Amino acid sequence: MMSDKSPSVIVMRGITKRFGSVVANDNVFFTLQKGEIHGLLGENGAGKTTLMNILYGLHQPDSGEILINGVHSHIKSPHDAIARGIGMVHQHFMQVPTFTVIDNVILGLQPFYRPALDRRHARQRLLEIAHLYGLSIDPDAYIWQLSVGDRQRVEIIKALYRNVRILILDEPTSVLTPQESEDLFHTLRRLVENGLSVVFITHNLEEALAITDRITVLRNGKAMATLPSVHATKEELASLMVGRQVLFDIPTLDLPDVSVNEVLSVEKLSVKGDRGSLAVRTVSFSVHQGEIVGIAGVDGNGQSELIQVLAGLRAPYEGRFFIKGREMTNASPREILQAGVGYIPENLEDALIPSFSLLENAVLDTHYTPPFSRNGVLDFRNIVRHARALIQSHDVRVPDEMAKAAVLSGGNKQKFIVARALARNPQLLIAAHPTRGIDIGAEEYIRNLLLQKRKEGMAILLVSTKLDEIMSLSDRILVMERGRIMGEMLREEATIERIGMLMAGSEA
Amino acid sequence: MLQKIVLWTHKRTSNWQQMPDWLSSLLVILLAFLIGALFIIAIGASPLAAYGALLRAAFGSVNGFAETMIKACPLLLAGLGISLAYRAQFWNIGAEGQIYAGGVCAAIVGLYLHGLPTFAHITLTLLAGMIGGALLGFFPALFKVRLGVNEMITTLMLNYVVIQVVAYLLHGPLRDQASGITISPQLLKSAWLPIVVERTRFHLGVLLAVGLALLIHWFIYRTVLGYQIRASGENRRAARVGGIRVNWVIIWTVLLSSALAGLAGAVEVSGVQHRLVEDFSPGYGYLAIAVALLGNLEPVRVIFSSILFAALLNGADAMQRAAAVPVPVIYVIEGVVIVLVAVSIFRRKGSL
Ligand SMILES: Nc1ncnc2c1ncn2[C@@H]1O[C@H](COP(=O)(O)OP(=O)(O)OP(=O)(O)O)[C@@H](O)[C@H]1O
Ligand SMILES: [Mg+2]
């Protein structure tokens, strides 16, 4: 449907960006045509976010030029980018949680000397935009009440409200359920029908092939190729990304039977959410040694609150839970960690201190125990050894362990967090979205690692919005909907249809 | 000149926010002095002469340097305390009150504990000051972690309370009846900090403070509690997820922080005044906030920023006398430093 004659709205030519010794973008050539969805693929740390941050004015390139509608442009700041019609939705949204949707959308647009906000006009525009592009949203809801998917739509509306013609989305689907992703694709198609252009970053090859018109693949900061999506195949893209052949079949491990030893047992647990209402309603289940229990469900159906309670971060309202037979209902996060639990939180911001080096981050959950400290003094010799081991064994792409966590690419942060949690050798691993934002190669690696750990006897509670992940890893699957466990099934009994029905709230 | 520096740094880092923070601190100081110079020119005086007088007074003689250093001492101690608290994102603005509380406790021990050998008496006097300061910091910390009460309000209010209590004590129980003004009698000689440089007031407390700065540097970066203070301040939630007992860390941080401010008061009383005086701190506790921020909450850098502010305090009078430039020009310089430091902190925070 795209003709090659479509004018380029963006041309990035010879873009190079260095961070110290790291070449994040190396002489990259990238064009975006009017009315196309352009996929940007590449391994973790390939330079996708950096390239788009440059287009959005967050970084200045060391060399290279940018043409917007054929005109040489120097984009000084995000503000400048928006003024030139370029908007970007990052993975982490900048929103004021105590403001309503509408106030977040018009935030910063009103000159400060005109205090009376014209909300009525704004609401009307907002609703028009939402309607035109199929973005369902309640303009008067508060941000803190919204799910991640809702908040992403707010971010998109924010950009459209500012009349952008080019929309950059950095891994938008990594936080979405399959259904929410479908809705997003629907919106994107509407956008391009209306003459906008979209850059879409993803690690999901099927998605990229399904939704994009053209795809550019980055590898080690270099643009390897730009190709029309209709002619591309998964295998071709994968080998462009990693520089070698990639196998897509998951090896079926010959797994031993689940033991009878209960590691986690949850009894009639109810939890109140931030909104004060019950987010988890009388949930009971258990996880055994050498077993992976997957919790499927649309984001925001109580999974977050449930695992926060299990990690000691939130007080339960009713009910109890036991770890290896010991009641831990009101234990602190530290007590739970020390009872042999590893925890991969939903948001990677909750697991890293951005201004700390990787060295310091490597021991965030262990620094108060030997061998990393003795008598209250940190032992850096052991910490260095540990950090290097984490980085090397999990292929975290970073110049050295002294780098600040903030400079890691999204996927590399996640790899680091998973590595750290597994290095504790926990008896129970609570893993929320362990492969979020991780590239295809590393995703396989982590999934296999989890299976390996299961084989060694680890009990794993897995929360994920990726159904294929739940289905390929779990021995047992629980489906959560509005705080309740709607159904429980063994892997053999599970089908996408059955889980989908339960997720939507109907008894199967 | 300034423009050149700015351009140079701009090119070097290609991004204002990536400028190393020591450089931005230096630029802030430079800019403050330039703006001060504009005021001096507006008055019709010569900035060179004025700043020359200031520098000579602050560093030009042994005695001048000693006077600068004994002013830097309480600024440094309180600044170190504030740095610790701010690292944990506990916005202690009660250092002034903590200084007075420390001064009072030190004075009481210094006045009434007879018959001790010098070393023991000095140690106890300083310890009393630390305990006094810590006591004053404890309650805001407790209210913060237990009830979520904003610490800025509680610490600030306590300043006024303590200053009134000191006034009461000096009008009543602690007053030196022989004197016409509201001061306490002199401390026992055994509670005086020894003088290090003869024929000046340069006392041992200055060296103690510098030593403590180095110790605290080590503490922040090498100990478990130091790590937890930084982690809790940078990302409370991640710290909690990692098993750090954040509330407990905050309480300890504030105790240390206010003990250091209390020590500042004790050192001033036992090293300089040798008695309790009503206004013995010319706002050290507030100035120490600027000292800590200009030093970027880095203990070793706080040494230098405390000396800078002490030099301004110390040289101001000389500048007025020698170059006919009124003292408030110094306040302008201080003010500009504070504002620019605040701006640069916000810029950096905003970019995260
Ligand atoms: N501010 C920064 N300072 C230093 N290095 C950086 C900075 N930002 C990115 N990098 C480095 O640049 C490289 C490219 O990072 P980028 O975030 O663009 O990767 P990405 O392709 O988006 O990866 P992911 O799929 O993991 O999100 C990485 O090696 C990263 O560590
Ligand atoms: Mg990225």
| pLDDT, tens digit, 9 for 90 and up, residues B141-183 | 999 999 999 999 999 999 999 999 999 999 888 888 888 788 8
Partners of residue A59 in chain B, C-beta under 8 Å: 15
For ligand 2, the distance from its centroid to the CA atom of residue A47, given in whole angstroms, is 7
B13 CB within 8 Å of a chain A CB: no
pLDDT over 60 (residue B8): no
Q: Span A483-491, mean pLDDT?
A: 91
Of A3-12, A32-41, A66-75, B264-273, the least confident: A3-12
Percent of chain B exceeding pLDDT 70 equals 92
B237 CB within 8 Å of a chain A CB: yes
Please state, in angstroms and rounded to a whole number, the distance separating the CA atoms of residues A472 and A255: 13
pLDDT over 80 (residue A431): yes
Structure confidence at residue A252 (pLDDT): 57
Q: Which residues neighbour A249 within 8 Å (Cβ) at sequence distance 6 or greater?
A: none
B20 CB within 8 Å of a chain A CB: no
Please identify, by atom number, the ligand 1 atom nearest to the C-alpha of residue A46: 21
Structure confidence at residue A441 (pLDDT): 83
B115 CB within 8 Å of a chain A CB: no
Per residue in A184-193, pLDDT (tens digit) is 999 999 999 9
A343 CB within 8 Å of a chain B CB: yes
Of A37-46, A252-261, A310-319, B73-82, the least confident: A252-261
pLDDT over 50 (residue B70): yes
Peptide bond into A316 cis (omega under 30): no
Structure confidence at residue B347 (pLDDT): 63
Please state, in angstroms and rounded to a whole number, the distance separating the CA atoms of residues B230 and B89: 9
Query: What are the structure tokens assigned to A23, written together?
Result: 């070449």
Please identify, by atom number, the ligand 1 atom nearest to the C-alpha of residue A414: 26
B241 CB within 8 Å of a chain A CB: yes
- The mean of the pLDDT values for chain B is 89
pLDDT over 90 (residue B92): yes
Percent of chain A exceeding pLDDT 70 equals 94
A313 CB within 8 Å of a chain B CB: yes
> B237 to chain A nearest CA, in Å?
6
- Listed ranges A397-411, B17-31, B105-119; the one with the highest mean pLDDT: B105-119
Partners of residue A360 in chain B, C-beta under 8 Å: 227
For ligand 1, the distance from its centroid to the CA atom of residue A313, given in whole angstroms, is 30
Cβ–Cβ below 8 Å for B227 and A349: no
Please state, in angstroms and rounded to a whole number, the distance separating the CA atoms of residues B225 and A368: 9
Partners of residue A373 in chain B, C-beta under 8 Å: 224
pLDDT over 90 (residue A338): yes
pLDDT over 50 (residue A3): no
What are all long-range contacts of A322-328, with beta carbons under 8 Å and residues at least 24 apart?
A322/A262, A322/A264, A322/A265, A322/A266, A322/A267, A323/A263, A323/A264, A323/A428, A324/A263, A324/A427, A324/A428, A325/A262
Q: Of B94 and A121, which is predicted with more confidence?
A: B94
pLDDT over 60 (residue A81): yes
**Environment class of residue A375 by beta-carbon count within 10 Å: exposed (0-12), middle (13-18) or buried (19+)?**
exposed
Residue A467 pLDDT level (bands cut at 50, 70, 90): confident
A44 lines ligand 1 (CB under 6 A): yes
Q: Span A78-98, mean pLDDT?
A: 90
Among partner residues B14, B224, B240, which is closest to A368 by beta-carbon distance? B224
Of A413, A474, A416, whose CA–CA distance to A171 is shortest? A413
Per residue in B120-133, pLDDT (tens digit) is 999 999 999 999 99
For A262-503, CATH gives 3.40.50.300
pLDDT over 60 (residue B18): no
Structure confidence at residue B250 (pLDDT): 97
Give the residue whose CA is nearest to atom 6 of ligand 1.
Answer: A407
Of A402, A398, A359, whose CA–CA distance to A379 is shortest? A359
For the entire predicted model, the pTM comes to 0.89
> B242 to chain A nearest CA, in Å?
4
Strand-pairing partners, residue A199, are A38, A168
For ligand 1, the distance from its centroid to the CA atom of residue A24, given in whole angstroms, is 6
Among partner residues B14, B224, B235, which is closest to A376 by beta-carbon distance? B224
A-B contacts at Cβ under 8 angstroms: 75
Of A52-61, B171-180, B295-304, the least confident: B171-180
Cβ–Cβ below 8 Å for A356 and B230: yes
Q: Please identify among residues 349-388 of chain A the ones whose CB lies closer than 8 Å to any CB of chain B.
A: 349-356, 360, 364-365, 367-368, 373, 376-378, 380
Cβ–Cβ below 8 Å for B243 and A62: no
Please identify, by atom number, the ligand 1 atom nearest to the C-alpha of residue A51: 18
- CATH architecture of the domain with range B27-347: Orthogonal Bundle (1.10)
Domain ranges of chain B: 27-347
Per residue in A104-121, pLDDT (tens digit) is 888 877 665 655 567 788
Percent of chain A exceeding pLDDT 90 equals 65
A407 lines ligand 1 (CB under 6 A): yes
Q: Say which residue the tokens 């909690």 belong to.
A: B240
Sign of CA dihedral A131, A135, A137, A142: negative
Domain A262-503 in the same topology as domain A8-242 = yes
For ligand 1, the distance from its centroid to the CA atom of residue B84, given in whole angstroms, is 32
Please identify, by atom number, the ligand 1 atom nearest to the C-alpha of residue A218: 21
Cβ–Cβ below 8 Å for A59 and B225: no
For ligand 1, the distance from its centroid to the CA atom of residue A398, given in whole angstroms, is 9
Residue B96: other Cβ atoms inside 10 A: 27
Return the beta strands (E) in A54-104 as ranges. 63-68, 71-73, 86-89
Please state, in angstroms and rounded to a whole number, the distance separating the CA atoms of residues A266 and A6: 58
Q: Say which residue the tokens 């850096």 belong to.
A: A380
H-helix segments, A340-483:
358-361, 380-393, 410-423, 440-455, 467-473
Partners of residue A62 in chain B, C-beta under 8 Å: 14
> B239 to chain A nearest CA, in Å?
7
Structure confidence at residue A47 (pLDDT): 95
Of the listed ligands, the closest to the CA of A48 is 1
Neighbours of ion ligand 2 (CB under 5 A): A 49, 409-410
Query: What are the structure tokens assigned to A462, written together?
Result: 């897995």
B194 CB within 8 Å of a chain A CB: no
Q: For residue B49, report the phi and psi dihedrals to the nearest 5 degrees.
A: -65, -45
Among partner residues B15, B222, B241, which is closest to A378 by beta-carbon distance? B222
Q: Say which residue the tokens 């923070």 belong to.
A: B21
Q: Which strand (E) or helix (H) includes residue A16?
A: strand A8-19
Of A2-6, A448-452, B209-213, the least confident: A2-6
The CA–CA distances, whole Å, from A59 to A17, A50, B16, B263 equal 9, 8, 11, 46
For ligand 2, the distance from its centroid to the CA atom of residue A114, given in whole angstroms, is 38
Q: Which residues of B104-118 are buried (b: 16+ CB within 10 A; e: fewer)?
A: bbbbbbbbebeebee
Please state, in angstroms and rounded to a whole number, the distance separating the CA atoms of residues A75 and A86: 10
Domain ranges of chain A: 8-242, 262-503
> A61 to chain B nearest CA, in Å?
9
Per residue in A16-28, pLDDT (tens digit) is 999 988 899 999 9
- The mean of the pLDDT values for chain A is 90
Residue B207 pLDDT level (bands cut at 50, 70, 90): very high
Of A338, A334, A293, A296, whose CA–CA distance to A313 is shortest? A334
Structure confidence at residue A279 (pLDDT): 93
For ligand 1, the distance from its centroid to the CA atom of residue A25, given in whole angstroms, is 9
The CA–CA distances, whole Å, from A229 to A31, A233, A243, A258, A276 equal 15, 8, 19, 44, 47
CATH classification of A8-242 is 3.40.50.300, yes or no? yes
B11 CB within 8 Å of a chain A CB: no
Of the listed ligands, the closest to the CA of A411 is 1
Give the residue whose CA is nearest to atom 16 of ligand 1.
Answer: A47
